[in-house]
Amino acid sequence: MGQLGRVSVAGFELALDRSYHPGTHMWVLALAPGRVRVGMDPLGIETSGTLAQLSFVPVGTELTAGLPFGQLEAAKFVGPLVSPVPGPVLAVNEAVGRDPGLAERDPYGAGWMIEAGADLPPGLLSGPAEISEWFAAKVADYRANGVIAE
């Protein structure tokens, strides 16, 4: 275990103080009742390639889980950032919009993307064993299928 509350799985560092949405590669951190912060997990970043641009819907936009909250342009992928939570957008990280590399350099800190008026939805993975098992299996699958290098 590296930093307090972090674990290395298949060469990627995962923060254990938040939950992960397996379908979107987004993490969700409860900040307070009815308020969460959302960012991209390291595997989502790795499979996208070097991030060139991030854009987000405006504050006040009503999110629907499974629908876009923004757009990502990167070396290997251009497409939507899919929301893991429903609820209104309360804040967007303007700094990561200006410098998308923040999401790569500090995915769990300065690289967060949006905050939403939501609680943790069902279907998120949490806890060291559940997070590590899912992430290790996903990395193995991506490596076996050539999505990421060994």
pLDDT tens string, the chain, 150 residues long: the values are 344 588 888 888 999 999 999 888 999 999 999 999 999 999 888 888 899 999 999 999 999 999 999 999 998 889 999 999 999 999 999 999 999 999 999 999 999 999 999 999 999 999 889 999 999 999 998 888 888 776
The residue ranges of every structural domain in the chain are 6-143
User: CA–CA distance from 89 to each of 37, 48, 62, 147 (Å)?
Assistant: 10, 24, 6, 32
Question: Whole-structure pTM over 0.85, yes or no?
Answer: yes
Domain 6-143, CATH:
2.40.50.100
DSSP helix/strand/coil, 89:
strand
